[in-house]
Amino acid sequence: MTPAVQLMTDRLITFRVCEYEHDPANKNFGLEAAEALGLDPDQVFKTLIVIAGDEEMCAVVPVSGQLSLKLFANAVGVKRVEMCPPARAERATGYLVGGISPIGQRRQLVTVIDETAQLYDEVFVSGGRRGLDVALAPEDLSRIVGGSFAAIAAG
């Protein structure tokens, strides 16, 4: 059981576990999950770690799009953010790249979820390892991570 699944279980969050066979050669983890689970890529969200000043933060955006660093910076009220190097993201979250969940991180980071998540009854995010997604209501996702919704995706 991953920390994400454990935390949702402990907090009595309604969720579904969705496992699939991860191909180690595939580095596009989010699209792989959408394809393997037969889901709309707009409903599957990837977790990206960014740095604002000296602080790691978490962005949750559809796998069909990209994170706009400018929109994310505006959403958290800073001048600029940059992508976090993979090793630092792993240290900050306690998860491996490709399996970073917004839920159950080593230290809960400031989290912004793209507002398009609110268009769905449930969204899919990493469950804390490659080949494992969890489905839950966007409001539950926001509540369990202490996150906010904002327009942070480009395309």
What is residue 7's three-state secondary structure?
Answer: helix
Q: Tokens 């390892």 belong to which residue?
A: 129
38 CB burial (10 A radius; 0-12, 13-18, 19+): exposed
Q: Tokens 């490709």 belong to which residue?
A: 98
pLDDT band with cut points at 50, 70 and 90 for residue 126 = very high
pLDDT digits (tens, 9 = 90+) for 13-56: 999 999 998 887 877 778 888 888 999 999 999 999 999 989 99
DSSP string, 36-79: HHT--TTTBEEEEEEEETTEEEEEEEETTSEE-HHHHHHHHT-S
So where are the chain's domains? Answer: 3-154
DSSP string, 83-112: EPPHHHHHHHHSS-TTS--SSS-SSPPEEE
pLDDT digits (tens, 9 = 90+) for 53-95: 899 999 999 999 999 999 999 999 999 999 999 999 999 999 9
Which fold, 3-154?
YbaK protein (3.90.960)
CA-based nearest residue to 36, from 149, 131, 114:
131
